[in-house]
Structure 1
Amino acid sequence: MQQFELNRIKVFNRRLVFLGAAKAAMLCLIGGQLYNLQVLQSQKYLRKADENRISIRVLPPRRGRILDRNGRVLADNKVTYRLVLVAEQSGDVERVLDALSSIVSISETERSRILLDVRQRRSFIPVTIRRHLAWSEVAQIEMDAPYLPGVSVEAGESRHYLMGSSFAHVIGYVGAASKSDALADAVLEVPGFSVGKFGVEKGYESSLRGRSGNIQVEVNAHGRVIRELQREEGVSGNDVLLTLDATLQEFVAQRLGAESASATLLDVKTGECLAMVSTPSFDPNIFVEGFSERQWKDIISNRRSPLSNKAVSGLYPPGSVFKLVVAAAALEYGVSNPRFEVDCEGHVQLGNRAFHCWKKGGHGILGLSQAIAQSCDVYFYNLALKVGVNRVAEMARRLGLGELSGLDLPGEKAGLIPTPDWKRAMYGDPWQKGDTFNTAIGQGYVLTTPLQLAIMTARLVNGGLFIKPRLVKSSGTGHDGKVRSPEAVPKIEISAETLSVIKESMFEAVNRVKGTAYKARIKEVPYMMGGKTGTIQVRRITAVERAEGIVKNEDRPWEHRDHALFVGYAPVEDPKYAVAVVVEHGGSGSSIAAPMAHDILLRAQVMFSGYQSQATFIDGCKVIDFS
């Protein structure tokens, strides 16, 4: 019995020692882990604790302004007011909304959205009720504040376009950042932050946006802000100074009126765009302040495409304006000369098809300058065959057609200058003489933008300078945010003799009695212009229609009318400005587009010369005093 008791005590002692050793080991393990956490990894977990306690929030930078060439503000940031509600301070949210509805309009859809936001967010997080409050609404809300618990007005900034529709296609507009945008910059995740969506706003986004700042705040476990710890202010975006003149831009917009049209005015020596207008236009402010479903439907259903910048994205056959390119190619490659004559009898027969001249009965015997001035189609059918379409295409590219100009504006299209290789690759068909005839008069496959036609005109009259269009002045900033410097302008490969003949022919087209634009000439001698008209068929005229009599443009449905086109330069002695005007379905280039170009070129010369007298404008035959 005594031996049994001794054995039991030994077993108990062994178990006690084992249990004590296990506890000691466990305590050592816990102690070691505590040492590891509190000493060895203290900085790591201190940082994690701070991350849970400290919240870093982005401070959006102020967006840079957009100015015209004279420093006139075109796009700026204005103070706006929004109405917010904090649920935990309001108590009965629905009662507060009922009280608010007597001050601001709250639709059932908006009410449902507000109540959903209140349910989904923490009670201390503000919920937006209404943006862009009028000052009268702000004043009324502040007066009734004692009866509107939890309701407050917050001030912020939004984009504002001071010139409205006149600059809409150039400046563009801003909108909420997309998900793909937000991945690039944390500031884009800030609610209400806007980025450029179109025009200069988009093209110069990185420069206009600036650099965001940040604020460090201490928060509790629920995310409520306790106090501000540190603030680093951001850097405002750069101002962008455009080459456009606001006064001239407004004038051009008014002159084009309600037409579906575009006009581009360039400085022929520098390539600076002095005016670029596309009509009809739109008010870019609606993309900031919001628009109704009806407004949006009205815009997108408008067959005259108000959202399209026709100056850079509108593609049109250049019509008879392209005859300048054919003439330049013929002279430059030495296959013809100004004395080359053709007897125009009104058409050219090619197989069983007749290619007509626009003048029924023909022009008779013409030389090159006369053919350009009177826009004889038969002359250029013959000339294009002598030159060859490949040489014509090469000259077109030298003059800026069929390729992107490099303008600082998104959305530009390249156009098309066809060649036999292109047709074979595109359609699998060989080039025909009929294709050459169509190309000779700027029809068929040829497509250009109004901007390209303005560039072409500038290069033809500036002595052959290889100018490229600019929308931002050299002292502004480019896409990379760096200061831009003026670049030396090289020359294109075209002789002075060729340029002289083309320029003189354009002078005759406007200032000689038989010239197609004679009625639109500028009579004031110091401001006289040269140019070339174009009338572009949008459908083929059948033999039956010719026999019965072609229906006049004004008697056709709008979409069947010819496009009207004119390119010009002024003054004739020392050209400074080149213009291209295209009026969709406007009819005749000589009666519609040329008078518009007359007014634009005269207005530009009067403005920039400081002339303080009167000038006669074709629009309404009014005399406008600029003094």
Structure 2
Amino acid sequence: MKKLVGTMLVMLLFGVALAGCSKEPTPQDRFSKYIALWNEQKFDQMYDYLSTDAKKKITKEEFTNRYHKIYKDLQITDFKIDFKKPKEDKQAEKEQAQYSFNAKMNSIAGSIQFTQKAKLQKEERDDKKNWYVDWNTEFIFPKLQEGDKIGISTDAPQRGEILDRNDIGLAVNGQVYEVGVVAGKVTDQVLEPLASLLKMSPDQIKKAITASWVKPELFVPLKRVSMQDEERIAQLIALEPVQTRKVEARIYPYDQAAAHLIGYVGAITADELEKLKDKGYTSNDMIGKRGLEQVYDEQLKGKPGVKITIKKKNGEAEVLAEKPVEDGKNIKLTIDADVQAAIFDELGKEAGTGAAINPMTGETLALVSTPSFDPNQAMLGFSAAEWKALQDNKQQPLSTRFKQAYAPGSVMKPITAAVALSSGAITPELAVPILGSKWQKDKSWGGYFVTRVHGGSPINLEKALVFSDNIYFAQAALKTEKDAFADGLKKFDFEEDLAFPFPLEKSTIGALDRDIALADSGYGQGQIQMSIVHLLSTYTPFVNNGNMIRPILLADEQQGQVLKEAVVSPEHAGVIASDLRKVVGDTGGTAHAAEILGYPLAGKTGTAEIKQKQGETGTENGWFIGYNTELPSLMVAMMVENVQGRGGSLVPVKKVKKVFELVR
């Protein structure tokens, strides 16, 4: 009897286990697996969960491709479908089940969230029963029905403008003429003169008017032309098939005078798009190509408004997501357009650079590089011939000289004086005996000599600055010794990034490993390199009791920031400032040509020799930096290339004087 009971118990347990193994899947477990595949975006596997009726409406390929295309076109990210299993669910006992799920995702037009109900159908396939999703298009988005289409519309933002300190536009939004032709009406007789006026080749025009989208009588745009180019517009309109229309475009009112500073915009290239695609840029964008247009492109461009709609068959539209347009921000500079134009006009056709700051506040008032280029034409598009001419021009009009570092020549001497005074290597009163026009430390220098233009002996600091004595400052650097000299220059922010909004080359000291290099560096030769903005900043201690002021370019930056405190003592700053006034005021001073009656200028000249070795003939860059000692609100520096045989530093001295006369 016991054996029989035991046998029956084993059979009962086996039956229970067998029943457990053959248990049908529940609809909620089945739907959970479907949701998991959806979150992983495994659309091909999701299709296998569709009901028979759903599969009749859409093939696996159509199903998979539709999801992929929609998610790609709408730039869907952070995708999450959430389904919570109900605690009590008796739907497994029925033939149909229904559950709700929540969807959340980000798109090109912002967040998309919705709650939707899903129906599941019990079906028998291959002698097994299971649950299948009764899918329809509303699973993708609510109210998306068969035959509906998803549309994306964009609203372009207004690009922010670049303004000077007085709200004068340096880069503004305006209009140009878009020149085109009526398709099908361009004859061979018109083609040549049209190509010539538009600076295009006949083949380029033919390609445009035979594009696949072109139909007879349609307007085919060919090129944009400035509204100031009235004569050319008149000639174009005289050609019968030509038409013009006004379109929005970027305008640069100060033309070449501010081209290197402001830059220009142009159509984004494939390479640029690849680098910027993660920042919301598209193939239709115009972006900054140079200057501040490029530096501040993200702030200026703004963000397009985007709307995603479900377009119904009856013409109505349901908004799925919408992101409002954000216009670009205006960038207001400390630049004074009048000072900018005055410096540009005085530089004229010279190769060089000019800059101006307020030495008390650090506000940058002008940044000029010459020769320049036409930013309006650059925005409209240079022809191949125009672009080649710019690139082949020996004066390098595409080079932004105010960002580059150059040998400063004798404008370096006040800095050397400040370092040497601080180290105790020199005193203002000590007169140094200097005989002749050339000098060397000892015979170890071989045939190398430091030379000077003005004679006289003995020479103190005042005379050395007034007459720009190379030998005096070479000896001062040697007495300071290389480590103290280098440390002194670093206090003036040499070898440091200036943290200026417009990227500038770093001012460098170079090697001081030999006495000759140290001596030459004392008067601005050797391997010393400075940008013109840094040069201006190094002169600010002479009007700020020894404090070096940080140059700023944006109007909302704090004024009067101390970049380096007490780089020179107030006493020594006063001594050097007094001597710089005499450089201009004394009849024998190297900058006396800059003297203006009733307007006391102080300053320093410089002539930097560009050559490989002593004894050979090289080129010369002329420098001058000046400021008003009584009202030090304007400090101007200028460098002119190739001044040899033309008066050296006298060239920029006269030009800077005219700038002060114009804008004081």
After TM superposition, the score normalised by the length of structure 1 is 0.74
Q: Distance in 2 between matches of 1:364 and 1:143?
A: 76
CA contact (8 A) 1:390 1:419 kept: no
| 1:579 is the counterpart of 2:631 | no
Matched, 1:591 2:613: no
In structure 2, the CA distance between the partners of 1:102 and 1:566, relative to structure 1 (3 Å rule), is closer
- 2:194 alignment partner in structure 1: 105
RMSD: 3.7
Q: Which residue of structure 2 lines up, in the alignment, with residue 530 of structure 1?
A: 602
Counterpart residue number, 2:256: 165
CA distance in 2, matches of 1:392, 1:238: 45
Deviation at 1:213, TM superposition (A): 0.7
- Paired residue for 2:290? 198
**Counterpart in the other structure of 1:72:** 168
Give the Å deviation of 1:40: 5.4
C-alpha displacement at 1:432, in angstroms? 1.4
Counterpart-to-counterpart distance in 2, 1:139 and 1:377: 61
Alignment partners' CA distance in 2, 1:330 and 1:487:
26
Q: Please give the per-residue CA displacement for 1:353-394, whole angstroms capped at 9, x wherever unaligned.
A: 34132227x421111111111111221222111101222222
Q: Equivalents in 2 of 1:133, 1:574: separation in Å?
A: 45
1:167-192 CA distances to partner (integer Å, 9 max, x unpaired)?
1111111111233543436863253x
Match of 1:340 among 413, 424, 430: 430
Q: Paired residue for 1:470?
A: 552
Asked whether the 8 Å contact 1:103–1:141 carries over to 2, the reply is no
Going from structure 1 to structure 2, the CA distance change for 1:378 and 1:50 (only over 3 Å counts) comes to farther
**Which residue in the other structure is 2:419 paired with?**
329
Q: Report SS of the residue matched to 1:344.
A: coil
Which runs of structure 2 are paired with 1:42-61 in the superposition (5 Å)? Answer: 43-46=138-141, 53-61=149-157
- For 1:445, the aligned partner's letter is Q
Cα separation, partners in 2 of 1:522 and 1:342, compared to 1, 3 Å: same
Specify the alignment match of 1:62 in structure 2. Answer: 158
Question: How far is the alpha carbon of 1:540 from its aligned partner?
Answer: 5.8
- 1:355 matched to 2:460? The reply is no
Aligned partner of residue 372 in structure 2, secondary structure: coil
SS of 2:277 mapped into structure 1? coil
Amino acid at match of 1:413: E
Counterpart Cα distance in 2 of 1:327 and 1:180: 49
Aligned partner letter, 1:583: V
Partner of 2:282: 189
Q: CA deviation at 1:159?
A: 0.8
Letter in 2 for 1:356: V
Instruction: Give the stretch that moved more between structures: 351-360 or 581-590.
Output: 351-360
Matching residue of 2:343:
252
Does the aligned pair in 1 maintain the 2:433–2:458 contact within 8 Å? yes
* Deviation at residue 233 of structure 1 after TM alignment: 4.7
Residue ranges of structure 1 left out of the alignment (5+ in a row): 1-27, 421-430, 475-483, 546-555, 606-627
Q: Give the match's secondary structure for 1:366.
A: coil
How far apart, in 2, do the equivalents of 1:540 and 1:143 lie? 58
Contact 1:461–1:569 under 8 Å retained in 2: no
1:563 matched residue in structure 2:
621
1:397-435 residue CA offsets vs partner (Å, 9 max, x unmatched): 32244433222113x111321244xxxxxxxxxx11111
Match of 2:101 in 1: none
Deviation at 1:209, TM superposition (A): 1.0
Shift of 1:519: 2.7
Please name the residue that 1:495 is paired with: 569
**Residue matched to 1:381:** 474
Alpha-carbon offset, residue 280 of structure 1: 0.9
Change (3 A) 1:496 1:326: same
533, 541, 553: which one pairs with 1:459? 541
Matches within 5 A, 1:284-299: 284-299=375-390
Of 74-83 and 132-141, more deviation after overlay is shown by 132-141
Q: Which residue of 2 aligns with 1:617?
A: none
> Is 1:369 aligned to 2:462, yes or no?
yes
CA contact (8 A) 2:361 2:560 kept: no
Identify the match of residue 520 of structure 1 among 581, 594, 616: 594
Counterpart secondary structure, 2:211 = helix
Structure 2 residue matching 1:263: 3-state secondary structure? strand
Shift in Å at residue 122 of structure 1? 9.2
Secondary structure of the structure 2 residue equivalent to 1:444: coil
Task: Please list the CA deviations of residues 241-268 of structure 1 after superposition, one character each: whole Å capped at 9, or x if unmatched.
Answer: 2211112211111111111111111100
Q: CA separation of 1:165/1:32 partners in 2, compared to 1, >3 Å: closer, same or farther? A: closer
* Structure with more strand by fraction: 2
Q: Quote the offset at 1:77 in angstroms.
A: 1.5
Superimposed CA distance per residue, residues 286-312 of structure 1 (whole angstroms, 9 cap, x where no aligned partner): 111112222112211112111122112
Q: In the TM superposition, what is the alpha-carbon distance from 1:131 to its structure 2 partner?
A: 3.1
Deviations, residues 11-40 of structure 1 (Å, cap 9, x unaligned): xxxxxxxxxxxxxxxxx9625867658745
AA of the residue aligned to 2:625 = V
Amino acid at match of 2:377: I
SS at match of 2:568: coil
* C-alpha distance in structure 2 between counterparts of 1:105 and 1:292, whole Å: 14
Distance 2:149 2:237 in 1: 35
Q: 1:199 to 1:247 in 2, by over 3 A?
A: same
* Greater relative contact order, per chain length (Cα 8 Å cut-off, separation 6+): 1
Residue 449 of structure 1 corresponds to 531
Letter in 1 for 2:594: A
Deviations 1:523-545 (A, max 9, x none): 22xx21111111111226755x8
**What is the rounded CA distance, in whole Å, between the counterparts of 2:605 and 2:226 in structure 1?**
50
Q: Give the Cα–Cα distance (whole angstroms) in 1 for the partners of residues 139 and 377 of structure 2.
A: 50
Counterpart of 1:504 in structure 2 is 578
Q: Is the 8 A contact 2:550 2:561 kept in 1?
A: no
Tell me, yes or no, if structure 1 residue 130 matches structure 2 residue 222: yes
What is the distance in 1 between the residues matched to 2:280 and 2:491?
44
* 1:472 match: secondary structure: coil
CA contact (8 A) 1:566 1:593 kept: yes
Q: Cα gap change, 1:504/1:289 in structure 2, threshold over 3 Å: closer, same or farther? A: same
- AA at the equivalent of 1:44: F
Hey, what's the Cα distance between the residues in 1 that align with 2:188 and 2:176? 23
Counterpart amino acid of 2:506?
Answer: A
Identity %: 26
Relative to structure 1, is the Cα distance of residues 117 and 523 closer, same or farther in structure 2, using a 3 angstrom cutoff? same
Q: Find the counterpart in structure 1 of residue 496 from structure 2.
A: 403
Per-residue deviation at 1:582?
0.6
Partner Cα distance (2:266, 2:190) in 1: 28
The whole-number CA distance in structure 2 between the counterparts of 1:140 and 1:529 is: 52
> Is 1:208 the counterpart of 2:303 in the alignment?
no
Q: Which TM-score applies when normalising by structure 2?
A: 0.70
**Alpha-carbon distance in structure 1 between the residues aligned to 2:488 and 2:178:** 58
> Separation in 2 of the partners of 1:386 and 1:297?
51
Kindly provide the CA deviation profile for residues 186-227 of structure 1, in whole angstroms up to 9, marking residues without a partner as x: 863253x31111111111112211121124467799xxx977
- What SS class does the counterpart of residue 636 from structure 2 fall into? strand
Counterpart amino acid of residue 605 in structure 2: T
* 8 Å contact kept, 2:549–2:561: no
Please state whether the residue corresponding to 1:287 is helix, strand or coil. Answer: helix
Letter in 1 for 2:539: T
Q: Residue type of the partner of 1:517?
A: A
Counterpart secondary structure, 1:338? coil
